[in-house]
Amino acid sequence: MLGEPGKSHFQIDLRRHLRGEGVDDALVHLICEIAEASKYVINAVRTGDLGVAGTSNLYGEEQLALDVLSDRIIRKRLIHSGVVCNIASEEMEEIFQVRSNLKGPYSVAYDPLDGSSLVDVNLAVGTIVSIYAGCDLLQPGRRQVAAMYILYGPRVSLVYSVGKGVHEFTMNHLMEFNLTRENIIMQPSGSIYSPGGLRNKYSEGDEKFIRYLEAKGAKLRYSGGFVPDINQILLKGKGLFMYPALNGSPNGKLRVLFELNPMAYLIENAGGAASNGRIPILDIVPEGLDQRAPVYIGCTEDVERAVEYQQEN
């Protein structure tokens, strides 16, 4: 640990912090490369065209939707990092094999721009990243060696864990990420809730659970962006995000590999919990890249209560 929790540490940058945590050189390099890529993503988000993929701009040039562009920015960086074996992204249909016989490689699953439809209305969006040792990406999330997200809000922040605490960095005017919060800890019980999906498609158990949360005085806090919604719950240390099974969508909406596993890893490492209503998100054995699951994620007691309501109904 490099400082007292809750104090500011503007002098500690991401690379120095990773080294202080005893992270091996290849993983330090990989995480710092993703942080570098995020600088180009935020530039695209802030100034890029709000077009849709496949259209062309004033000059007849191909215009890329921001999520496709963000995917290319991050993928290129990963390919040239020299430490990546396989890549899976929400924007690619198949696993992209970088190389298969590299010493000490990592594999990366990521959502390059989560909440991309929110860019049009100028709300916060983010990049979510999951890292495994070796070449296998279809493993339970508990085997992740690192997870992180970058939040593109009024400020840009980066939150990572390598299994030893969860730490927040904030981008300064030189676009460097400096430590702003170390060892973030969640409280056992929360006071905000973020419910995704259409409420009239909720099950009876989920309806009762929402009424329980409201009765205990929890406030509604939902932006429609998974990264800012989770960031709020994590940094305030008290709350629950859910995207349950819906009538007609028994697996909810969010994807295990690109969204749920990395967020579950971060929240668990901060002392919270994440469940699909039956088992921890991190114990799901993924069968495919596009696998989805219902999710209840946040303060441990709230997640336990959500699971109880599921089982009772």
Binding segment (CB under 6 A) for ligand AHG, from list 38-46, 70-78, 112-120, 285-293: 112-120
Q: Among all chains, which residue has been given the structure tokens 């562009």?
A: 69
Q: Which residue is nearest to Mn ion (CB)?
A: 114
Nearest approach, Cβ of residue 13 and ligand AHG (Å):
28
* From candidates 41, 81, 109, 115, binder to ligand AHG by CB under 6 A: 115
Q: Which one, of 212, 195, 287, 281, lies nearest residue 246 by Cα?
A: 195
Partner in contact with 196, chosen from ligand AHG, Mn ion, none, beta carbon below 5 to 8 Å by kind: ligand AHG
Residue number closest to ligand AHG, CB atom: 226
**Which residue, 85 or 246, is less far from ligand AHG as judged by CB?**
246
The first and second tokens of residue 64, run together, are 């890329």
State how far the Cα of 301 lies from the Cα of 306, in Å rounded to an integer: 9
| CB of 105 or CB of 286, closer to Mn ion | 286
Angle CA(227)–CA(233)–CA(238) in degrees, nearest 5? 170
- Amino acid of residue 33: E
Binding site for Mn ion (CB under 5 A): 90, 111, 114
Choosing among Mn ion, ligand AHG, none, which partner's interface includes residue 249 (Cβ < 5 to 8 Å by kind)? none
Q: How many CA atoms lie within 13 A of 63 on its CB side?
A: 12
Nearer to Mn ion, 12 or 234 (CB): 234
Is residue 152 near ligand AHG by the rule CB under 6 A? no
Give, as ranges, the residues between 194 and 233 that touch ligand AHG (CB under 6 A): 196-197, 224-226
Q: Does 244 bind ligand AHG (CB under 6 A)?
A: no
- How are strands ordered across the β-sheet holding 192-195? 219-220, 192-195, 240-243, 295-298, 273-275
Please tell me the distance from the alpha carbon of residue 1 to that of residue 108, in angstroms, as a whole number.
26
CB of 33 to ligand AHG, least distance (A): 22
Count of residues engaged in binding ligand AHG, rule: CB under 6 A? 12
Amino acid at site 86: N
Distance in Å, CB of 277 to Mn ion, minimum: 20
How far apart are alpha carbons 294 and 206 in whole angstroms?
11
Q: Taking CB under 6 A as the rule, does residue 114 contact ligand AHG? A: yes
Angle at 277 between CA 117 and CA 248, to 5 degrees: 55
Give Cβ neighbours of residue 54 (< 8 Å, ≥ 6 apart): 62, 63
Interacting residue with ligand AHG among 116, 127, 269, 276 (CB under 6 A): 116
Residues in contact with ligand AHG by CB under 6 A are 90, 111, 114-117, 196-197, 224-226, 253
